[in-house]
């Protein structure tokens, strides 16, 4: 959970010795006939007959692990890891579907719960069974019973505010979704595009969860009337438009990001974040990984999936990708308890409703907000 993929303060990719492969769809290898032969095959993460060789992981463009982690996987298994990063989470799913006859790689990471059912319905993934300890925790976040996707991490997409901006302007910070439609908050909000960004879509779903299928449109009209700005993706919204972003020139003190974003705003030598998450505005996002149907090296892909659930990777996720690991065995950073709590009551939309209405909602949102 980039455009950076998922709106959180991601660090630069730290892939160690891993080769990062530039996306070039025209250059993708593999034949539809060869892929069809393995489509639908079940990969077993505990398989002992895995061949080494190369495994390609297809991710959103903010996948990040600390230096040396993936290199340790390569060293232990003899498998070389390459990466393809098509873009934001929404772009990732679109590309996985468009290239399912000739997959971009072997394992995909970063499909979230707002897009997962679409990818499963399109036959993108092969059912995969993992037997590592954290798999039991991952199963609590299962999309369905197909075994097509395995949860790796989760977090809350929430509006974030720049404390210093509101203090310097002697203005009370907003606390609810409704507050953002009030005149005193005109021209203060920026969000990523719901049609192209997974956190943007998550925020749309939050408003649907709050106002219902018959009321969310009026809310977005009110946001528009109050000076809403829509960015292409999270990176632009947070780093360029947000007043506390890394660009230093932003003019919007309210941005869509994550409940786990504030710890990253603690200044060097300080102990208090300069930003905060509005926990009354959140939608819970779960990120999944899955072995691609038609993968050239499904056994190696299953081993890499196991590795994403390992204690080493799960413990690294908070610091590298600012999400909560699914593993209950991991100790979270001390600052998270104070500065990155999850929402007690995030807004929700039933997975079946998302599956049935996602495209309709995105089209309505696009017609209404971006034209």
Beta bridge partners of 218: none
In the chain the first and final C-alpha atoms are separated, in Å, by 27
What percentage of residues in the chain have a pLDDT greater than 70? 86
Nearest to 76 by CA among 127, 135, 17: 17
Residue 51: its pLDDT value, please? Answer: 54
Q: What is the pLDDT of residues 185-206, one digit of tens each?
A: 999 999 999 998 888 999 999 9
Residue 323: its pLDDT value, please? Answer: 93
Beta bridge partners of 254: 161, 189
Q: What's the per-residue H, E or C state across the chain?
A: CCCCCCCCCCCCCCCCCCEEECCCHHHCCCCHHHHHHHCCCCEECCCCCCCCCEEEEEEECCCCCCCCHHHHHHHHHCCEEEEEEEECHHHHHHHHHHCCCCCCCCEEEEEECCCHHHHHHCCCECCEECCCCCHHHHHCCCCCCCCCCEEEEEEEEEEEEEHHHHHHCCCCCCCCCHHHHCHHHCCCEEEECCCCCHHHHHHHHHHHHHHCCCCHHHHHHHHHHCCCEEECCHHHHHHHHECCCCCCCCCECEEEEECCCHHHHCCCCCCCCCEEECCCCCEEEEEEEEEECCCCCHHHHHHHHHHHCCHHHHHHHHHHHCCEECCCCCCCCHHHHHHCCCCCCCECCCHHHHHHHHHHHHHHHHHHHHC
Residue 247: its pLDDT value, please? Answer: 81
Average pLDDT over residues 164-193: 98
Residue, of 24 and 89, whose pLDDT is higher: 89
Residue 30 pLDDT class (50, 70, 90 cuts): very low
Q: Which of 33-37, 158-162, 174-178, 208-212 has the lowest mean pLDDT?
A: 33-37
Residue 42: its pLDDT value, please? Answer: 43
Residue, of 26 and 358, whose pLDDT is higher: 358
Domain annotation for the chain: domains and CATH numbers = 19-155+284-339 (3.40.190.10), 157-283+344-370 (3.40.190.10)
Q: Using alpha carbons only, what angle is made at residue 141 by residues 140 and 146, rounded to the nearest 5 degrees? A: 95
Q: Which of 50-54, 66-70, 91-95, 211-215 has the lowest mean pLDDT?
A: 50-54
Return mean pLDDT, the chain.
87
Residue 64 pLDDT class (50, 70, 90 cuts): very high
- On whether the CB atoms of residues 291 and 302 are closer than 8 A, the answer is yes
In the numeric block, which tokens belong to residue 219?
A: 């809310």
Q: Are strands 19-21 and 80-87 parallel, antiparallel or unpaired?
A: parallel
């Amino acid at each position: 959970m980039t455009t950076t993929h998922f709106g959180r303060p991601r660090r630069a990719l730290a892939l160690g010795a891993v080769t990062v492969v530039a996306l070039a769809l025209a250059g993708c290898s593999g034949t539809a006939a060869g892929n069809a032969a393995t489509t639908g095959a079940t990969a077993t993460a505990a398989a002992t007959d895995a061949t080494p060789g190369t495994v390609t992981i297809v991710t959103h463009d903010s996948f990040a692990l600390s230096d040396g982690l993936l290199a340790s996987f390569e060293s232990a298994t003899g498998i070389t890891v390459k990466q393809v990063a098509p873009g934001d989470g929404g772009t990732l799913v679109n590309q996985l579907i468009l290239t399912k006859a000739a997959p971009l790689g072997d394992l995909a990471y970063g499909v979230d719960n707002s897009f997962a059912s679409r990818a499963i319905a399109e036959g993108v993934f092969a059912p995969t069974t993992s037997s590592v300890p954290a798999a039991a925790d991952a199963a609590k976040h299962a999309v369905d019973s197909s075994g097509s996707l395995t949860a790796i991490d989760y977090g809350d997409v929430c509006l974030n505010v720049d404390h210093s901006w509101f203090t310097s302007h002697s203005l009370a910070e907003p606390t609810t979704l409704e507050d953002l439609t009030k005149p005193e908050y005109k021209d203060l909000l920026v969000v990523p595009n719901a049609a192209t960004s997974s956190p943007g879509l998550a925020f749309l779903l939050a408003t649907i969860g709050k106002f219902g299928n018959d009321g969310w449109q009026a809310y977005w009209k009110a946001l528009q009337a109050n000076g809403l700005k829509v960015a292409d993706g999270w990176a632009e919204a947070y780093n360029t438009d947000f007043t506390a972003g890394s660009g230093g020139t932003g003019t919007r003190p309210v941005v869509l990001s994550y409940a786990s974003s504030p710890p990253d705003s603690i200044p060097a030598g300080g102990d208090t974040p300069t930003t905060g998450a509005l926990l009354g505005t959140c939608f819970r996002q779960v990120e999944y990984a899955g072995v691609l149907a038609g993968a050239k090296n499904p056994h190696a892909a299953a081993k890499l999936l196991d590795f994403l659930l390992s204690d080493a990777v799960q413990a690294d996720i908070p610091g590298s990708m600012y999400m909560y690991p699914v593993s209950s065995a991991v100790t979270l950073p001390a600052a998270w308890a104070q500065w990155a709590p999850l929402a007690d009551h995030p807004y929700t939309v039933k997975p079946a409703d998302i599956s049935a209405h996602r495209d309709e909602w995105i089209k309505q949102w696009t017609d209404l907000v971006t034209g």
